[in-house]
Amino acid sequence: MVSGSASETGGNAEQILAALDDDQRVAARALIGPVCILAGAGTGKTRAITHRIAYGVATGVYSPNRVMALTFTSRSAAELRTRLRPLGAGGVSARTFHAAALSQLNYFWPTVVGGDMPRVLEGKARLLGHAAETLKLRVDTASLRDLAAEIEWRKVSSLSLDAYELALRTSRSLPGQLTVDQVLGLHQKYEDIKDERRQLDFEDVLLATSGMIEQEPAVAMQVHEQYKFFVVDEYQDVSPLQHHLLSLWVGGRNDLCVVGDASQTIYSFAGARSDYLLSFEHDYTNATTVRLEQNYRSTPAIVDVANRLMKGRAGALSLHAAVPESPTTPEARPALTVYPSDVTEARGIASRISDLVQSGVPASDIAVLYRVNVQAAVLETALGDAGVSYQVRGSKRFFDLPEVKQAVMSLRAASVSITGEPLFKSVSDVLRSLGWSQAPPEGRGAVRDKWEALNALMGLAEQQGDGITFRQFTDELMERQGSGHEPTIQAVTLATLHSAKGLEWPIVFLVGLSEGLVPISYATTFEQIDEERRLMYVGITRARDRLEMSYSESGMGRSQQRLASRFLQEALPGTRTPDAPGIAAR
């Protein structure tokens, strides 16, 4: 990494390029015109784009205040700014799409519309609750969260209510027990109440900014004068709405650099489309395309597993490990372990981690990655029993989930009056009153998450041996709930595959690699299953030195027999796994 003051760095542009490999250097020198950087996992894409921007500033091609670098999270934007500053490009604007749009909206609103800009909602659930009350509909909290997600998807997909109705009737899952007409009514009422209160949601910020640029020539002229050079990180995650706003910002000019990896498209359910990345060369026939395939993160064995998983997929890059395997100290090959149950899987992993920590491996060097939040519960228990500190990333701990808190309270109250019944019946009766059923709801979302959490509690009841009373079971639940404590920084990370994107650890345990989890049970179409493949790819490529994979042959329920994930047979050739379904065909 090049360091020093802006003047020192600016005086020696070639010093900036010295920190790059040959392919990264090609990308950095391509300063003018459309540029597409196809950057595989661990190939140093952030280094490439920050040094490219800094090189443009140092050579005088870019004026810092005319460059806009866009990304998708505040953390990523902050990282870009942090890296640009010591390279002499601290004046470059590095923001999320929403932050950039909100800044422009605040600036132009008083002139174009008049008065102060409307307040931006922090969330949609409360206003949706008011809409439901107005329409005299009873909608639970989980369904409100799913409705909010549907509104976001509709807007970022640039769909009118009529077009959304068609999607609802053909491909989208209905939130909760609502009908199509009820969902559409709630969408419309939500918009009406929001307008009456002079409020905007996050998607409205992008829509309003787009509208101002399209309809007000003076606004478009000022925006185009302000920004000339654009860099978009994680371009595979761009939604139709963001793509439209970006095209308005660029304004028919060509100085656009996009960076992405189609193999890491894992947010299609939220409106992301890798099509824009994959079609960039077609859309810009004079584009410079650079492929970054030299992986600096993972061992050759881990890279090999990742390549095998993605072989032949659209836009897949072929990674090459930067450091070859040592013939004298051969690296650990990624291994698969099969456990009889979720509990034994969690305990086995906790035991392995405990041994690693006792041997001197820092706990913070280890991560356990899984598909859905509810899988964390049994892992938390096993790590706690093993005396291993951990932290859950990107979600609340299992016993802190609102639906779990409510369920534990209801079970505790019922245990006072219900005696003599089989534990399974007592627990299932209470959980059914809270929305649990033996069959899971279709589709993904908060309603499914709630069911998974309640089903995990049902699974804990099923695991109990003969003779335990309902009261004793709830005593154990209360003890588990009350024993939680904030982990220290030096802790093992527990994270979903989605929340692990963009991160890395020396040692990664990839758990629950069975049919129904990876791919998830509600992934049924070719596109959905392919996204599950990419999600597993993201998990594999988080590991630097060691990757251990596992699954259990049975879940929480006694009858939940599982098969190995279909992806394992491709990622680990030669590994003996039970027969699994073939890959979905078009």
Residue among 396, 380, 375 nearest 516 (CA): 375
Q: Would you call 186 exposed, middle or buried from its count of C-beta atoms within 10 A (0-12, 13-18, 19+)?
A: buried
Q: What is the mean pLDDT of residues 89-101?
A: 93
pLDDT at 421 over 50: yes
Share of the chain above pLDDT 90, in %: 61
Confidence band, pLDDT 50/70/90 cuts, at residue 585 = very low
Residues found in the chain: 586
Residues 564, 550: Cα–Cα separation, whole Å:
9
Answer yes or no: is pLDDT of 394 > 50: yes
Torsion sign over Cα 293, 299, 300, 302: negative
Segment 442-470 shows an average pLDDT of 76
The predicted pLDDT at position 524 comes to: 87
Q: Residue written as tokens 């000339």? A: 228
Residue 9 has pLDDT above 80, yes or no: no
Yes or no: say if 245 and 210 are a contact pair by the CB < 8 Å rule.
yes
Which structure tokens are listed for 337?
Answer: 């372990």
160-169, 207-216, 341-350, 553-562, range with the lowest pLDDT: 553-562
331: confidence class by pLDDT, cuts 50, 70, 90? low
Across 306-339, b (16+ Cβ under 10 Å) vs e yields bbebbeeeebbbebebbeeeeeeeebeebebebb
**Three-state SS for 124?**
coil
Task: Name, in order, each residue with C-beta under 8 angstroms of 213's C-beta and a sequence gap of 6 or more.
Answer: 219, 220, 223, 245, 248, 249
Rounded CA-CA distance 258/266 in Å is 18
Of 502, 501, 492, 539, nearest in space to 517 by CA? 539
Cα gap 48→52, rounded to integer Å: 6
**Would you state the structure tokens that stand for residue 173, as one six-digit string?**
């899952």
Dist. CA 72–CA 52, nearest whole Å: 19
Backbone angles phi, psi at 199, to 5 degrees: -125, 155
Give CA separation, 497 vs 365, 394, 409, in Å: 17, 10, 30
502, 159, 194, 216: CA torsion to nearest 10: 90
Euclidean distance between CA atoms 265 and 274, whole angstroms? 6
Residue closest to 377 by CA, chosen among 366, 390, 359, 364: 390
- Tens digits of per-residue pLDDT, 574-583? 665 554 443 3
pLDDT tens profile 122-151 = 889 899 999 999 999 998 888 899 999 999
What CA–CA distance (Å, rounded) separates 568 from 512? 11
> pLDDT tens across 245-278, in order?
999 999 989 999 999 999 999 999 888 999 999 9
Q: Give the model confidence (pLDDT) of 403-416 as tens digits.
A: 888 898 999 888 88
Angle at 249 between CA 248 and CA 250, to 5 degrees: 90
Higher pLDDT: 171 or 479? It is 171
Q: How confident is the model at residue 460 (pLDDT cuts 50, 70, 90)?
A: confident
Mean pLDDT of the chain: 87
Cα angle 389, 394, 400; round to 5: 70
For residues 13-25, give the mean pLDDT: 92
Q: Which of 173-182, 547-556, 575-584 has the lowest mean pLDDT?
A: 575-584
Is the pLDDT assigned to residue 465 strictly greater than 70? no
Between CA 67 and CA 83 the distance in angstroms is: 15
Which pLDDT value is given to residue 417?
A: 84
Amino acid 581: pLDDT: 41
Interatomic CA distance for residues 517 and 451, integer angstroms: 15
Contact in structure between 55 and 26 (CB atoms under 8 Å): no
Q: Which two tokens stand for residue 82?
A: 């942090």
Rg for the chain, CA atoms, rounded? 26
CB of 263 within 8 A of CB of 41?
A: yes
Residue with the bigger pLDDT between 465 and 389: it is 389
Quote the pLDDT of residue 50.
95
> 473-496 pLDDT, tens per residue?
888 788 767 654 332 346 889 999
pLDDT at 516 over 80: yes
Q: Which of 91-105, 163-177, 552-566 has the lowest mean pLDDT?
A: 552-566
3-state secondary structure 463-529: HCCCCCCHHHHHHHHHHHHHCCCCCCCCCEEEEECCCCCCCCEEEEEECCCECEECCECCCCCHHHH
